[in-house]
């Protein structure tokens, strides 16, 4: 397997795609812009832990569609649920039995979801939690954390201002400065900056929005006690604490993140809970959720929300995950990969750090431990790019960004890990400083 492959068919599909699809991709993370250009590989099919491209090459997949695929691609139980829904009706525009069945399943795993609403993406879920928090508190400002990604709604496409007590600046063209002014961005894992922002804006703060374990500038865990402090600050301000669990929900355990015994007021979910089909969900304390129409004054709706295909696929996925021994198995594989990567990098004199939390990790090129976005940005982009391309050319699929995670699925095996490590070994040898 350790040979460089041809991707000539991928090249022609990508050229063709660019003539109709903006930039040739339906989500910018799939382009190879941040790894020196090149042609992204075009996939033809996916099965288990493997992707297969249009040239017939096979890849061990550690991207897993940026998180949703946790039981492997095209899992038979999920495929069957989708097929059943396709025969029995997939969109009713009325209440369906699948909605309470699904919501009860989520609530059984996460009792804090006193009330929940289904939407179609993580973006929608987070966007709506902010609206609900604003409706509940009758305030407008939001505190979020540098480097965390919360989808592409206006309010969260905002970068930090010049200090923790300054308002944000738009992070994307098209986001109004007036929206950015409602958002304060502080560094993750930094209590003093959070407290400074909190004391500056006080009772103007509607919500604190956080990824409880970060997935978007690499896997970064909160310092012990940090989330408890975030909870305390939210309580002192009378602000709503929102956990964005779009990546983390059901990724590390059967349920939400457990850290410091802290519970948020609202959650946003997506990705895994739909078993690979489009989905999002938000929910939490009943009193806050009752702001939402038809019970309350905050509006949120969706033609596709709660469609039976996504819910039945999600139910099948959650059913598989409820055998919690699979999390232990995935963690064992993740540990094997982590220690193998560290040993091989060390043997070739390449400085790397692995940030692992249970079943997911990020390999950073640099000697320092990564605890915030600034440190993640400071890692070596050239070495990452060279490593990424070497692995791809030899049949291992990573995300084309140094900030993304490697995810395990129930379908990865020890043999796949060992094959990955052999290829990584030759990559480290090639990029040795
Ligand atoms: N929140 C987090 C933490 C995410 O990682 C993402 C997507 N990567 C989103 C929200 C947005 O989800 P979606 O892409 O489904 O809109």
Give yes or no for residue 48 CB within 6 A of ligand 1: no
Q: What is the pLDDT of residue 1?
A: 46
Give yes or no for residue 344 CB within 6 A of ligand 1: no
Distance CA 389, CA 273 (A): 31
Q: What is the pLDDT of residue 427?
A: 98
144 is catalytic: no
Contact present, 328 and 252 (Cβ < 8 Å)? no
Q: What is the pLDDT of residue 387?
A: 98
Give yes or no for residue 247 CB within 6 A of ligand 1: yes
Burial 137-153 (b: 16+ CB within 10 A, else e): bebbbbbbbbbbbbbbb
Nearest CA to ligand 1 atom 7: 151
Give yes or no for residue 399 CB within 6 A of ligand 1: no
The interface predicted TM-score of the complex, written ipTM, equals 0.99
Strands 50-53 and 58-61: antiparallel
Cα 122 to averaged position of ligand 1 atoms, centre (Å): 5
Q: What is the pLDDT of residues 304-348, one digit of tens each?
A: 999 999 999 999 999 999 998 999 999 999 999 999 999 999 999
Q: What is the pLDDT of residues 76-128, one digit of tens each?
A: 999 999 999 999 999 999 999 999 999 999 999 999 999 999 999 999 999 99
Residue 3: pLDDT over 80: no
Give yes or no for residue 128 CB within 6 A of ligand 1: no
Give yes or no for residue 190 CB within 6 A of ligand 1: no
- Catalytic residue, chosen from 149, 226, 282, 327, is 149
Distance CA 324, CA 255 (A): 10
Cα 66 to averaged position of ligand 1 atoms, centre (Å): 9
Nearest CA to ligand 1 atom 13: 122
pLDDT band of residue 4 (cuts 50, 70, 90) is low
Residue 156: pLDDT over 70: yes
pLDDT band of residue 167 (cuts 50, 70, 90) is confident
Distance CA 381, CA 246 (A): 26
Give the mutation target among 149, 257, 275 for probing the ligand 1 site: most ligand atoms within 8 A of CB.
149
Three-class DSSP labels, the chain: CCCCCCCHHHHHHHHHHHCCCHHHCCCHHHCCHHHCCCCCCCEEEEEECEEEECCCCEEEECCHHHCCCCCCECCHHHHHHHHHHHHHCCCCCCCCCHHHHHHHHHHHHCCCCCEEEEECCHHHHHHHHHHHHHHHHCCCEEEEECCCCCCCCHHHCEECCCCCCCCCEECCCCCCHHHHCCEEEECCCCHHHHHHHHHHHHHHEEEEEECCCECCCCCECCCCCHHHHHHHHHHHHCCEEEEECCCCCCCCCCCCCCCCCCCCCEEEEEHHHHCCCCCEEEEECHHHHCCECCCCCECCCCCCCCCHHHHHHHHHHHHHHCCCHHHHHHHHHHHHHHHHHHHHHHHCCCCEEEEEECCEEEEEECCCCCCCHHHHHCCCHHHHHHHHHHHHHCCEECCCCCCCCEECCCCCCHHHHHHHHHHHHHHHHHHCC
Cα 4 to averaged position of ligand 1 atoms, centre (Å): 33
- Could you tell me the two tokens for 71? 């039981």
Nearest CA to ligand 1 atom 5: 247
CATH of domain 76-321: 3.40.640.10
Burial of 176 (0-12, 13-18, 19+ CB in 10 A): exposed
260 is catalytic: no
Give yes or no for residue 270 CB within 6 A of ligand 1: yes
Q: What is the pLDDT of residue 160?
A: 84
- Catalytic residue, chosen from 61, 154, 190, 244, is 244
Beta-carbon count within 10 A of 409 CB: 20
Distance CA 291, CA 420 (A): 49
Distance CA 70, CA 409 (A): 4
Q: Which of 34-38, 173-177, 368-372, 388-392 has the lowest mean pLDDT?
A: 34-38
Give yes or no for residue 151 CB within 6 A of ligand 1: yes
Give yes or no for residue 267 CB within 6 A of ligand 1: no
Cα 246 to averaged position of ligand 1 atoms, centre (Å): 6
243 is catalytic: no
- Could you tell me the two tokens for 281? 């969900």
Give yes or no for residue 197 CB within 6 A of ligand 1: no
**Which ligand 1 atom sits closest to the C-alpha of 211?**
3
| pTM listed for this prediction | 0.97
Q: Quickly name the fold that domain 8-74+324-430 has.
A: 3.90.1150
Mean pLDDT of all residues in the chain? 96
Cα 267 to averaged position of ligand 1 atoms, centre (Å): 13
Cα 179 to averaged position of ligand 1 atoms, centre (Å): 20
Q: What is the pLDDT of residue 433?
A: 79
Residue 284: pLDDT over 50: yes
- Could you tell me the two tokens for 253? 């355990």
Q: What is the pLDDT of residue 37?
A: 74
Domain boundaries, the chain: 8-74+324-430, 76-321
């Amino acid at each position: 397997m350790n040979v460089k492959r041809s991707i000539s068919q991928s090249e022609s599909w990508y050229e063709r795609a660019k003539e109709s699809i903006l930039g040739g991709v339906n989500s910018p993370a799939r382009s190879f812009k941040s790894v020196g250009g090149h042609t992204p590989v075009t996939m033809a099919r996916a099965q288990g832990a493997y992707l297969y491209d249009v040239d017939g090459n096979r890849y061990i997949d550690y991207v897993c569609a940026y998180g949703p695929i946790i039981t492997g691609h095209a899992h038979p139980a999920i495929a069957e649920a989708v097929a059943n829904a396709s025969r029995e009706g997939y969109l009713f525009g009325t209440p369906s039995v699948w909605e309470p069945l699904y919501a009860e399943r989520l609530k059984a795993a996460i009792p804090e979801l006193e009330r929940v609403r289904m939407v179609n993406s993580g973006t929608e879920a987070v966007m709506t939690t902010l609206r609900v928090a604003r409706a509940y508190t009758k305030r407008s400002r939001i505190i979020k954390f540098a480097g965390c990604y919360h989808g592409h709604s206006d309010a969260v496409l905002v970068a930090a201002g010049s200090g923790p007590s300054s308002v944000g600046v738009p992070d994307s063209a098209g986001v109004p400065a007036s929206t950015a002014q409602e958002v304060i961005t502080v560094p993750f894992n930094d209590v003093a900056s959070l407290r400074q922002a909190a004391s500056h804006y006080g009772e103007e703060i509607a919500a604190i929005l956080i990824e409880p374990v970060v997935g978007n500038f690499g896997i970064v865990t909160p310092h012990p006690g940090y989330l408890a402090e975030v909870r305390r600050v939210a309580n002192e301000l009378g602000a709503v604490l929102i956990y964005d669990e779009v990546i983390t929900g059901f990724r590390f355990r059967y349920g939400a993140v457990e850290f410091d015994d802290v519970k948020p007021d609202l959650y946003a979910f997506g990705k895994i809970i739909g078993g690979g089909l489009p989905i999002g969900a938000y929910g939490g304390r009943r009193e806050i959720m009752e702001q939402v129409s038809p019970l309350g004054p905050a509006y949120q709706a969706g033609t596709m929300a709660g469609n039976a295909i996504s819910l039945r696929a999600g139910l099948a996925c959650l059913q598989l995950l409820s055998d919690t021994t699979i999390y232990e198995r995935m963690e064992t594989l993740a540990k094997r990969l982590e220690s193998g990567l560290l040993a091989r990098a060390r043997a070739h004199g390449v400085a790397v750090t692995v940030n692992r939390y249970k079943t997911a990790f990020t390999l950073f090129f640099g000697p320092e431990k990564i605890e915030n976005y600034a440190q993640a940005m400071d890692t070596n982009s050239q070495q990452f790019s060279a490593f990424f391309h070497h692995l791809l050319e030899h049949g291992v699929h990573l995300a084309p960004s140094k900030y993304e995670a490697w995810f395990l699925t129930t379908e990865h095996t020890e043999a796949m890990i060992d094959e990955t490590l052999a290829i990584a070994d030759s990559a480290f040898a090639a990029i040795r400083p």
